[in-house]
């Protein structure tokens, strides 16, 4: 089963939704156990042994959806990707916050502005981190040289200098 991660609005339909029964169950549960639900809620399938325990956040979302639909209101589910502050992005990347701001201003990192605040999508920061790692590994590979115990140290140093010059030229152009 593949659910599209786009916004979806659900409108209550009397013919297919037994909201009163679900609300009655939830109210009875709250009366018996208090407002904090027990830690075990199950989603049950049609076959024997087809069940899975619902996490607390899914349960709370379900309660909110059921209450809104029972009140005759439409419900919109709109998945959103986590956003980071510049400081959170800096911590994740292992750089300073001003460095993240410079990367945003230079176009290396995408960010949205809300007033004077910048927000970055987690996926953008993670993608940048992977690109940066790939560049670092490529530079390491470009500046490395194979050595033997019999190689002349002066010759190895010269080969490393040449490799670094080639890598620097590639980085600039």
pLDDT tens by residue, 98-147: 999 999 999 999 999 988 899 999 999 999 999 999 988 887 877 776 66
DSSP sequence for 111-149: -EEETTEEEEEHHHHHHHHHHHHHHHHHHHHHT-----T
52 CB contacts (<8 Å, ≥6 apart)? Answer: 42, 43
State yes or no: pLDDT of 68 exceeds 70.
Answer: yes
- What pLDDT is stored for residue 1 in this prediction? 41
Distance CA 41, CA 57 (A): 11
pLDDT at 41 over 70: yes
- Average pLDDT on 52-76 reads 83
- Looking from the CA of 157 toward its CB, the CA atoms found within 13 Å total 3
The confidence score (pLDDT) of residue 17 equals: 54
Q: 51 near 43, Cβ under 8 Å?
A: yes
Q: What is the mean pLDDT of the chain?
A: 80
Tell me the pTM.
Answer: 0.53
């Amino acid at each position: 089963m593949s659910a599209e991660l786009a916004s979806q609005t659900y409108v209550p339909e009397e013919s297919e939704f037994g909201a009163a029964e679900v609300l009655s169950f939830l109210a009875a549960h709250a009366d018996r156990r208090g407002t904090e639900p027990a830690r075990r809620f199950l989603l049950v399938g049609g076959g024997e042994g087809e069940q899975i325990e619902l996490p607390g956040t899914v349960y709370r979302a379900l309660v909110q959806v059921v209450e809104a639909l029972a009140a005759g209101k439409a419900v919109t589910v709109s998945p959103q990707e986590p956003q980071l502050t510049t400081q959170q992005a800096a911590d994740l990347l292992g750089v300073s916050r001003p460095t993240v701001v410079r990367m945003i201003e230079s176009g290396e990192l995408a960010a949205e502005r809300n007033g004077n605040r910048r927000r970055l999508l987690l996926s953008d920061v993670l993608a940048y981190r992977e690109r940066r790692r790939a560049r670092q590994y490529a530079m390491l590979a470009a500046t490395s040289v194979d050595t033997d115990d019999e190689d002349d140290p002066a010759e190895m140093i010269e080969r490393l200098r040449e490799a670094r010059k080639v890598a620097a030229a590639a980085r600039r152009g």
